[in-house]
Chains A and B, each alone.
Chain A
Amino acid sequence: MHPLRSLVSVGHVNTTTIAPTQPTRRPARAGVTAVRRYLGRWSLIAALAALPVYYGVSDLVNGYQAAVVAGHPVIHHDLSKLGFNFAEGLSDGAIWALIAIGYTLVYGIIELINFAHGDVFMIGSFTAVGLWAPLGLGLSTSLFGVAGGLVLTLLITMAVTGSLNVLIERVAYRPLRNAPKLAPLITAVGFSFILQNVGLLWRGGSPQSVADLIHAQQPVFTIFGVPILRGYLLAFAVMIPLVFALTWFIGSTRAGKAMRATAQDPEAARLMGINVNSTISLTFLLGGALAGAGGLIYAVYETNIWYFQGFKAGLIAFTAAVMGGIGNVRGAVLGGLIIGVIQSLSDSRIGPQWTEAVVFAYLIAIMVLRPKGLLGEETREAG
């Protein structure tokens, strides 16, 4: 289980960037700094715990309306609504985690926020749904047919989105390797819009519902009164093996070692005989493939796709990556799951129209309280 980077790197030369990268701090006393660091971490954790604790206590004390029987509201005083929020949030979070890993891998290796990544995820959903008809997948397909078809769809989708991500890197980022950091960021935003319009022309401007292949809302079993739906199981059945495979790949293979080396110091890696360009392409391939897997789960689980889903998902997943600590694969997974829970709590308690604002408020809170995230960032600058 090796995250992308772990060793201390030498400072990197950064002479002509438009945006200065070294944060400057006024000299503070060591004690103040220590207190501040301590406060930063714990205040972030406190901020994250605030929503579930508040609503949990409120459910226990005030109760919540569980159902309406014969016109009378049934009030429960237990934590199963909170548990339901958690279950839903964690499985949403599994999708965000898969996308967030793509952000974090790319940021770790070329220090670029790949804005187009969310839209690669959207293209993943579209590809997956587009494949169902030719494969003959539909509501009437047998269980084994659906399972086999989904595995095949998953593989093809991952290949498509992975290649797409590599292509984007080749066209939009590689020519700008030596340009100021702002330049590839801007082409990334540009590509995000291009992909969105591809999606718009592909499937029109309004959300489309797709066949509910696995009857995602059907409960399989209940734990402590919390129904576990098929969609949840699918999300984790796809996410967990992929994350394990990825951490194994990065930690134990030659190519993974090359990725870690390139993330640490591209120049030195090149001197050691690592092909930096193909290593970066590999990183984009992996990130894109995971986003494609996320796209498939999203389509099956939400049974609803549209061209704009990638924009929001991308921002949420980026928030997740920053929350966990950018460049850190385990952090991305943790962040994804946490953001999923926050989102689900906000959807069910505050109101879905505010969820976006709540997630972004958390993003800003992270930036203010602890910019390096929960598990610590692993980038060249963080060392």
Chain B
Amino acid sequence: MRWLRALRAPDKMAGFAIGRAAGGYGGSAPRKMLSRALAGVLIVAGICVPFLFGDASGFMNATIISIAYAVMALGLNIVVGSAGLLDLGYVAFYALGAYSLGWFGSEFFAKAQVHVLVSPVASVLPGVHLNFLLVLVAAAAICAAAGVVIGLPTLRLRGDYIAIVTLAFGEIIGVAAVNGQSIKLGGGMTLTAGNLGISAVDSPYFPGIGSFGLLDLRPWYWLIFGILLVVLFVNLRLRDARLGRAWVALREDEVAAVSMGVPLVKTKLLAYAIGAAIGGMSGAFFGTYYTEVNAGQFQFGFSIFILSMVIIGGLGSIWGAVVGGMLLGYINNYLIPDVLNGLPGKFGLSFQLTQVEFGIFGFLLVITMVLRPQGLLPERRHRLELTAAIPAEDAQLGTEPEGMA
């Protein structure tokens, strides 16, 4: 497949994706060196973070969750940002990823006895137990397939209808997760454990390192940081590859792109599949990190939460998705619950900030869209497009003035 070949370094600028992205497109040799050095420093700094903060402060926990959100935002950014397909049902892939872990990394399927490269403790337990990396692969595969299924009916639809169909799929998956206890698979096993949750899921285990414990957060951090780097690399390589350019072409003008020979069906479905696979990997990580897969987690609000990250970071911008994911992750898991939660109480209001967190994100969405629609770290194309369009506030409705296109 061509897009895979793109990952395998097809051109002479290959292999420096992260460095190149930090320095923008192309650039002279010294600049390339500089950006590569910058990327190296960032990676080393990222690896060193756990040595600076203790587990107790809650900051490490928030960081791990924020990075996992950033991974999700990167996945959604492919679908919404690069390919321009507004997906409001992204929570479906969170759910499927988490359930991949629940299915293949716990005692949930108690009748089965499958053990592949798992810790000595897990290898004597009933159920399906796969190594966490295999679970990641399974989650990615399941979600990619689901992404294609969700993508198929939307191929012929207009942009805003895509939003509704994906939303509907996300809700159907959510309903199925909640009511999964009544879906029998035979042998007394059910599809999900509903709101009871699948608990006692396996911790990641790697031969030579051992199982991850819940007391030491560092291995978790390095694991999700590693996942982030891999996903980031894939994203950056795809952006400039044939596939990434095809996504942008379809987003900008579908008719023109198709007439230039961009395969519509394959390109769109690949956007859904790759975006879904990334979301599923992050979902599997969340499953094992939260040590539970509970149907109550998979609400529509989560889709909007991830979408807010992509939009606040800057639609289509890879670094924007990372920054947006980290930012909202910290706001949601550190700032609102730990730092600002008592704030309304100080003003004599009888609610807590955690109650209205989705309202806060909604507000951020509106503010971002009205004041800075290009996001914090805009993609170049979007920046041009959005800043050119906004000042003409009182201009003609629906149609662009002459010369703007």
Contact = CB atoms under 8 A, between A and B. Distances in A.
Contacts of B369: 172, 176, 179, 183-184, 186-187, 190
Contacts of B162: 19
A25 interface: yes
A136 interface: no
A116 to B, nearest CB: 9
Interface in A1-42: 12-13, 15-25
Interface in B367-405: 369-370, 373, 385-386, 389-390, 392-393, 395-400, 404-405
A178 B392 contact: yes
A204 B313 CA distance: 32
Contacts of B88: 189
B364 A190 contact: yes
Contacts, number: 213
Given A18-B315, A190-B364, A193-B358, A354 B179 contact: yes
A339 to B, nearest CB: 13
Given A21-B159, A360-B171, A193 B362 contact: yes
A205 interface: yes
B359 interface: yes
B245 to A, nearest CB: 16
Category for how many chain A residues contact B = 35 or more
A355 to B, nearest CB: 9
Interface string B94-137: 00000000000000000000000000000000000000000000
Contacts of B392: 178
A126 B226 CA distance: 49
Category for how many chain B residues contact A = 35 or more
B178 A193 contact: no
Most buried by A among B159, B315, B400: B159
A18 B251 CA distance: 5
Nearest to B393: A175
A183 B393 CA distance: 14
B171 A315 contact: yes
A113 B386 CA distance: 20
Contact of A187 (B176, B370, B395): B370
B385 A16 contact: yes
A112 interface: yes
Given A181-B160, A185-B163, A20 B386 contact: no
A22 B254 contact: yes
A353 interface: yes
Contacts of A190: 361-366, 369
Nearest to A276: B397
Interface of A: 12-13, 15-25, 110-113, 171-172, 174-187, 189-194, 196-198, 200-201, 205, 266-267, 270, 276-277, 280, 311, 315, 318-319, 322, 353-354, 356-357, 360-361, 363-364, 367-368, 371, 380-381
